[in-house]
Amino acid sequence: MIIFVQIKQNMKSQKKTRILFVCLGNICRSPAAEGIMKKMVKERHLQDVIEIDSAGTSGWNDGSFPDPRTLAHGKKRGYDFCSISRKFVSADFDRFDYIVVMDSNNFANVKALATTQEEVEKIHLMTDFCTRITSHDHIPDPYYGSASGFELVMDLLEDACEGLLHHLKVY
């Protein structure tokens, strides 16, 4: 009993790792990544050590819920995508340890706001964390596509979120 209490105290005193997922509009890919990662973190009881959010580089959808197709495809897999869209801002570099972007355009847009090398080093491509599906170098935007595009995005994000958890070495 004493050992378990000590472990819980150590986890609480540890600084949280903060992850921000970023796509263009913050209504398809990044809120899906946020929801998938939140579920994985909760299943592993890591809420005390990992914090997750999402944002978009455009700000076009500020205040919006995720796209209904994203919600539907996530629900089929047991996810709750309940985030509210917001725009990525420079202050996010101070708030987050990892800024995980969905494609090279998002990478360039976020990098353009970085003012230090330390901030640039926080930016990562989501697919860099894929371990099973290595045929994609980005998470494709499903917005103008069909249902199969949303399913591919879910597959890629599940793989990448697992890989990111392993990268963080938190379990």
Read off the pLDDT of residues 126-144 as tens digits, 9 standing for 90 and up: 999 999 999 999 999 998 9
Mean predicted confidence (pLDDT) in 110-126:
98
pLDDT of res. 1:
38
**Least confidently predicted of 29-33, 81-85, 110-114, 167-171:** 167-171
Query: In whole angstroms, how far apart are CA 13 and each of 7, 36, 75, 146, 155?
Result: 10, 26, 34, 45, 34
Question: Distance between CA 144 and CA 136 in Å, rounded?
Answer: 18
pTM comes to 0.90
What is the rounded distance in angstroms from the CA atom of residue 159 to the CA atom of residue 163?
A: 6
Q: Which CATH class is domain 14-166?
A: alpha beta
Domain extents for the chain?
Answer: 14-166
pLDDT at residue 13 in the model: 52
Confidence (pLDDT) at 92 = 98
Angstrom distance (rounded) from CA 159 to CA 161: 6
Residue labelled with tokens 């790792």: 17
Active-site residues: which are they? 23, 29, 141
Q: What is the mean pLDDT of the chain?
A: 91
